[in-house]
Structure 1
């Protein structure tokens, strides 16, 4: 992933642990749980917990975790990913709350049905956890599969959204 040099980050608390939020002038570029796989090196990022877009994202996440909001209303900056990754992340955005899909279905939806493993890799590298709902992707048999934030968090997010496991 290549992140924009003007990226600004901040931290907020969530019921599933601390979250790092990253933004650019174009929009929300990252949401990661502490300890999440594929966590980028943030040493050179500016830190501003009071940045208006970080505050807005934190408020929307709080409403989501409290069950008060089903969707997010934030511009996204997914430009750090490859064209393929961006196509996968856009497909994730189409999965409605309370629904799940499979890696194979996403592969078919983006017009590349043979790319199931590559889709899995792109889902795992999703930089905007929760908001770009990679937690809604299950194995072809409906089984829980990996989640960069940890399976316990994936289960909690799906249960919050009313998905019966």
Structure 2
């Protein structure tokens, strides 16, 4: 059975979704790809253990406490390629950035390939179903541009500022949609 709950955050309303007491979705209000694309019956339920854990994690995150994800039962659904990308995103330290190209190199190594398309990685990053916790906001363009974020560039900027990232060293946003 699928359940949903909401969380009021400093960057707007967040929708949480679970299946079998595992978190399968965390979407920002008006996020480009997910919350409106769910095609199954979802029952609102605010008091599930997975939601309580996630909300505590979010409380700590928005207080800039750098919470760890090791206690969260995450279960993002996606192809093996996307799973590799999301696994690498989880390794980006709090308050640090990486590029789509760097993620592509790491995915290529995981998949025993010589190269990997940065554009393909961008698609997987943009379709991350568990925003913030799987930190897709920490990925930038090769020139430091804040390109792409399904939740909106303004929210990406707020998340990075919360984490203490020095945005003055980066280029200005190039567009407000995910790659």
Q: Tell me the TM-score normalised to structure 2 length.
A: 0.84
Residue 34 (structure 1) aligns with: 29
2:93 counterpart SS class: coil
Indicate the residue corresponding to 1:88 in structure 2.
Answer: 85
Comparing 104-113 with 155-164, greater Cα deviation is found at 104-113
The aligned counterpart of 1:3 is: none
Runs of 4+ with deviation above 6 angstroms: none
The aligned residue for residue 47 of structure 1 is: 44
Provide the C-alpha distance between the structure 1 equivalents of 2:130 and 2:138, rounded to a whole number of angstroms: 13
Report which of the two structures shows the higher radius of gyration computed on alpha carbons. 2
Instruction: State the distance in 2 between where 1:92 and 1:27 align.
Output: 19
Secondary structure of the residue that 2:6 maps to in structure 1? strand
Q: CA deviation at 1:7?
A: 2.2
What is the alpha-carbon distance in structure 1 between the residues aligned to residue 132 and residue 94 of structure 2?
A: 11
2:73 — aligned with what?
75
Residue 14 of structure 1 pairs with residue 9 of structure 2: yes
Whether contact under 8 Å (2:57, 2:67) holds in the other structure is no
- Unmatched 5+ residue regions in structure 2? 168-179
CA deviation after TM superposition for structure 1 residue 69, in Å: 3.4
Q: Across the two proteins, how many residue pairs are aligned to each other?
A: 159
Partners of 1:26 and 1:77 within 8 A in 2: no
Partner residue of 1:105 out of 102, 120, 137: 102
Per the alignment, residue 123 of structure 1 pairs with 125
State the Cα RMSD in Å. 1.4
Structure 1 range deviating more: 55-64 or 150-159: 55-64
In structure 2, what is the equivalent of residue 23 of structure 1? 18
Q: CA deviation at 1:119?
A: 0.4
Shift of 1:26: 5.6
- Give the alignment's TM-score, normalised by structure 1: 0.91
Q: Aligned partners of 1:107, 1:26: CA distance in 2, in Å?
A: 31
Which consecutive unaligned segments of at least 5 residues does structure 1 have? Answer: 1-5
Q: Give 1:100 deviation, angstroms.
A: 0.5
12-21 or 65-74, which deviates more: 65-74
The structure 2 residue matched to 1:60, chosen from 57, 62, 65, is 57
SS at match of 2:16: strand
